[in-house]
Amino acid sequence: MFSWLRNISLSTRIILLASLVTLAVAGVSYSVFVKRFRENAETAMMEKAAAFTAVADEAKNHASELFLKKSIAIDELLTELKAEQAKGGDYTKSRFFQTIPVVTGWSTAEKAAKSENIDFKVVAFEARNKKHEPDSGSFRANLLKDLETQLAAGSGASIGRIDRATNTLHYMRAIKLDESCMLCHGAPGGKYDPDGDGKDALGFPMEDWKVGGTHGAYEVACRHNLQ
């Protein structure tokens, strides 16, 4: 089979062998380089997503403090909301809605995401607004489920994973409930439901969630072109 090799001079054989070895080394180095490059790019994207969602969370925390310290004219805004709702107005357009701490957090992040070309969303199961609910069985739904399992086990409030089918990195940071959230998401009939109708100021049934628990997550999705 290799009889043709015997007809080639020794020097040509050496050159041929050297070329093959060089090619093999170049090939291995290239694939190691590409792998490292992809890993570094993925780590950088993960860090960027972590920093981005951390800012959304801190914007929410800051707004919660203002809300609890009554630095916002809550009563005045509530009266305005009631008047608008009586006329059939959309609660998401009200001034009151914009001051809800978690809404301040995600609105801030949405604006930054737009200017930075980042895909940012809020995702949640049992969502009040169905636009926040991930499609059942989707990659995002499974990731959120895994984040919730992780939270229940007490190990970490964020999770990141690459969807290889779309080459998209999805990063989620859980949204923690603090005292300010109880006004609407707390116990029906409790201290934040003085009229005892089981509904919050916007008319939603209160869920009886607890301070220290979580509801949904901030999500950043970044596509990358590395295979």
Does residue 181 bind ligand HEC (CB under 6 A)?
A: yes
CA distance 147 to 214: 11
Q: Does 183 bind ligand HEC (CB under 6 A)?
A: yes
Decide if residue 160 touches ligand HEC (CB under 6 A): no
Residues recorded for the chain: 227
- Which stretch, 17-25, 49-57, 127-135, 155-163, contacts ligand HEC (CB under 6 A)? 127-135
Told to check if 206 binds ligand HEC by CB under 6 A, we report no
Q: How far is the CB of 34 from ligand HEC (least distance, A)?
A: 39
Residue with tokens 């070895």: 21
Distance, C-alpha 86 to centroid of its chain = 35
Closest CB to ligand HEC among residues 27, 205: 205
CA separation for the pair 171, 160 (Å, rounded): 4
> CB under 6 A: which stretch of 10-18, 31-39, 46-54, 175-183 binds ligand HEC?
175-183
Q: Which is nearer to ligand HEC, 143 or 177 (CB)?
A: 177
101 near ligand HEC, rule: CB under 6 A: yes
CB of 25 to ligand HEC, least distance (A): 53
Site for ligand HEC in 20-39 (CB under 6 A): none
By CB under 6 A, residue 129 contacts ligand HEC: yes
DSSP letter at 206?
P
CB of 60 to ligand HEC, least distance (A): 6
Residue at 20: amino acid letter? L
Q: Tell me: does residue 92 bind ligand HEC (CB under 6 A).
A: yes
User: Does residue 132 bind ligand HEC (CB under 6 A)?
Assistant: yes
Cα–Cα distance list, 142 to 50, 133, 145 (Å): 19, 12, 5
3-class DSSP string for 6-74 = HCCCHHHHHHHHHHHHHHHHHHHHHHHHHHHHHHHHHHHHHHHHHHHHHHHHHHHHHHHHHHHCCCCCH
Q: Are the beta carbons of 113 and 221 closer than 8 angstroms?
A: no
CA–CA–CA angle 83, 86, 89 (5° rounding):
85
Name which of 46 and 201 has its Cβ closer to ligand HEC.
201
CB-wise, 47 or 76, nearer to ligand HEC?
A: 76
Region near ligand HEC per CB under 6 A, out of 3-11, 23-31, 35-43, 121-129: 121-129
